[in-house]
Amino acid sequence: MKFRARLWTSISAATLIAASGAVSGLAAAPSADGAKQAGAGNGNAGSFLVASAGEGGEGGEGGEGGEGGEGGEGGVDPDLAAKDPALYISALDIIRAHYLAGEAMLEVEGGRQAAGEMFAHPISEVYIDLEPVFEAQGAAPFMDEMTEAVDKALSGAPVAEVKAAAAKVYAALDAAEAKAPSGGKSALAVEGALTADMFERAAKQYDAALAPTGTDEAWIDGYGFWKVAELRADALTPKLGAGHEDLAAEIEAARALFAAAYASPERPGSPQAEPGALYAASSRIGLRSGRL
């Protein structure tokens, strides 16, 4: 409860009111054909550290709670995250995904509030429950950095200031990742599980967003998961040596497929790929990464 109290005292009342709106109600913004990729030009966004050697797990059990039952999200169990590096880092990846998605929305006309909401969501849905775990691992708390990004995004601060605030969050995520718990599997196995997890989440959110009852929020979430999947793939692929060429090939094929599917942070009128193809691609990565 003390963490939730801190949330209410850390963000201005006006910001909280603005962040309470649904992203899906803001979706009438015109298409931004030239929208920058999330995190473009921000080195911190992609500064992944090598995961500590630990039990890989599938990573798919980590996630957010309570976002309308959207496809790529589930609950993060703090007790399990304290022991499993894949779950611990998965929680950090979910936060990062929201910030990458929020940065992308800064480049979309009319997307400022959606960006602020993306920054705000993981505070209550992921961070608050996991902060004791991060602190127990020796990671410095970073809710202040997150609330600063929310405030700047929703108060009309210049885009450069908002991105600078987001960069502080990325740096905090990197520092927290370095404190991940250890376990029984290799760092490569953990990285493989995390990569597969983010592709799977992106596939599920894509399917959920394009369903008859789909929302723009589900789409933006999925966009962020895809951007983290790309970053994870960037870190993992160069480390795959002989014997793992099949995994490297599946990752490259998935990157092309997901890039076409998530061509914009704005939800399209018609799908650019079949959800089943994204599911199949993520499943093949999960199967082969399990052999690391």
Read off the pTM: 0.79
Residue 100 host element (H or E): helix 85-106
Q: Contact 150/123 with Cβ under 8 angstroms?
A: yes
What are the tens digits of pLDDT across the range 51-96? Answer: 333 333 333 333 333 343 455 555 578 999 999 999 999 999 999 9
Q: Mean pLDDT of all residues in the chain? A: 80
- The per-residue pLDDT for 53 is 30
Specify the 3-state DSSP secondary structure of 211: coil
- The per-residue pLDDT for 270 is 84
Angstrom distance (rounded) from CA 288 to CA 195: 11
Q: Contact 89/185 with Cβ under 8 angstroms?
A: no
* Nearest-5° Cα angle at 172, 170 to 175: 110
Q: Which residue has the tokens 């649904």?
A: 22
- The per-residue pLDDT for 75 is 58
Angstrom distance (rounded) from CA 36 to CA 33: 9
Residue-by-residue pLDDT tens, the chain, 292 positions: 344 444 444 454 344 544 444 333 333 333 333 333 333 333 444 433 333 333 333 333 333 333 434 555 555 789 999 999 999 999 999 999 999 999 999 999 999 999 999 999 999 999 999 999 999 999 999 999 999 999 999 999 999 999 999 999 999 999 999 999 987 778 999 999 999 999 999 999 999 999 999 999 999 999 999 999 999 999 999 999 888 999 999 999 999 999 999 999 999 988 889 999 999 999 999 999 998 8
Q: Contact 56/185 with Cβ under 8 angstroms?
A: yes
**Domain spans of the chain?**
2-19+35-289
